[in-house]
Amino acid sequence: MDTVSNKWGIPEVLGLFELPFSDLIYRAQCVHREHFDPNGIQLSTLVSIKTGGCSEDCGYCSQSARHETAVENQPMLSLEEVLAAAKAARDNGASRFCMGAAWRGPKQKDLDAVTEMVRAVRELGLETCATLGMLKEGQAEQLKEAGLDYYNHNIDTSRRHYEEIISTRDYGDRLDTLSKVRRAGINVCCGAIVGMGETREMRAELIAELANQFPQPESVPINNLVQVEGTPLYGTDPLDHLEFVRTIAAARITMPKSFVRLSAGRQQMSESTQALCFLAGANSIFYGEKLLTTGNPEVERDRALLDKLGMHAM
């Protein structure tokens, strides 16, 4: 994708959030129509290939070994299991298949297994994406050689709020992995989670951080916190849904050529809220019954909503 040269200051992004709602949505929709089919939605399916037992302490995560949740540790899926899931995703209309693993970062034997999965999934005609945690030197190059199209590594929240959410890695660790992915020539999928107790100004800081990456991320997943009992963030006051829509709009305006993905939290949103997110510039969704360990609207429900809105898969 083309690079974007302008820098977004936090006050400027905050100014977007503070626009009258109709003005913000109009501006976001105009930007969206300049770069994308306004009625096209990119469908991705996310599968957990290794669940639970992560050594990190991310306050939102049900898979942390430090939190007492209902998620049980599971070994890595076999190649056959992953291919079966990928074929089902393709047959249901998904164009991208994302593989997620609950690690701080992959060991070499783990990476060997994942690269085999990447090669096999690409042979099915699907775009491939992986989210495997922090990468060591040379690992991004191995994923690139296997044909990985996208690597997901979210910055999660703003710099100021980060230490309230995670202590086992710092913001620089996140940016270091993103740098490794870029140098290897892999597309970047980088977004965040909102609704974790941050202020509007922190959300503006977060969007500015994403928008000022150079080049900007090709995909930007925006997650609304799914609260899981047993995690430190369980019981956090939920984010107002219109504020979430504002966040989507700010992401679209500041990152005009990125796919903005409506990600976790959709199951808790009404059809009207999701429609507003699409109007605000979201043009990608995770599609299927589960996102790693949390629920997601069923395929048939999603198809019905897209049909109702006159939208189609890209």
**61 catalytic, yes or no?**
yes
**Per the structure block, which two tokens stand in for 268?**
């808790």
Strand partners, 130: 99, 151
Residue pair 249/242 in contact by the 8 Å Cβ criterion: no
**190 catalytic, yes or no?**
no
Distance of alpha carbon 154 from alpha carbon 171, whole angstroms: 10
Catalytic-role residue among 27, 30, 33, 61 = 61
Residue 178 CB contacts under 8 Å (≥ 6 apart), including other chains: 153, 188, 190, 213
87 closest CA partner among 113, 120, 62, 63: 120
Residue 137 to residues 84, 103, 132, 297, Cα–Cα distance (Å): 31, 16, 14, 37
DSSP-assigned letter for residue 171: H
Catalytic-role residue among 27, 189, 266, 277 = 189
Chain center to CA of 92: 20
Distance of alpha carbon 76 from alpha carbon 82, whole angstroms: 10
Catalytic-role residue among 27, 96, 203, 261 = 261
294 closest CA partner among 100, 156, 129: 100
Catalytic-role residue among 54, 246, 266, 277 = 54
**266 catalytic, yes or no?**
no
Catalytic-role residue among 58, 203, 246, 277 = 58
**277 catalytic, yes or no?**
no
Residue 153 to residues 88, 191, 242, Cα–Cα distance (Å): 25, 8, 26
- Annotated catalytic residues are 54, 58, 61, 98, 129, 189, 261
